[in-house]
Amino acid sequence: MIDRASGLPAYRQVADELRKKINAGEYRPGDKLPSERVLVDTYQVSRITIREAVGLLRAEGLVSAEHGKGVFIRPPQKVERLSRSRLSRAARSAGQAAFLADAASNRFTPAVEVDIRVEAATTEVAQVLGIGEGDEVLVRERVMSADGQPIQLATSRLPRSITAGTAIEQTDTGPGGTYARLEEAGHTLAHFSETVGARMPTPDEASLLRLGAGTPILVVRRVAVDTEGAAVEVNDMRLAGDRYELAYEFPAD
Instruction: List contacts with a second copy (CB under 8 A).
Output: 12, 15, 19, 56, 59-61, 78, 80, 83-84, 87-89, 179, 189-203, 214-218, 224, 241-242, 244-253
Concatenating the DSSP letter of every residue in 76-99 gives ---EEEEHHHHT-HHHHHTT--HH
Closer residue to a second copy (CB): 118 or 200: 200
Smallest gap from Cβ 212 to a second copy, in A, equals 11
- In 3D, which of 59, 52, 63 has the Cα closest to residue 12? 52
Helix (H) or strand (E) holding 217: strand 217-226
Instruction: Supply the minimum distance, in Å, between the C-beta of residue 224 and a second copy.
Output: 7
**Rounded Cα–Cα distance for residues 78 and 10 (Å):** 32
* Nearer of residues 116 and 236 to a second copy, judged by Cβ: 236
CB of 201 to a second copy, least distance (A): 8
3-state secondary structure (DSSP) of residue 91: helix
Give which of 155, 170, 166 is closest to 119, Cα–Cα. 155
Nearest approach, Cβ of 160 to a second copy (angstroms)? 22
Report the nearest approach of a second copy to the CB of residue 37 (Å): 25
Residue from 93, 236, 211 nearest 155 by CA: 236
- Residue length of the chain: 253
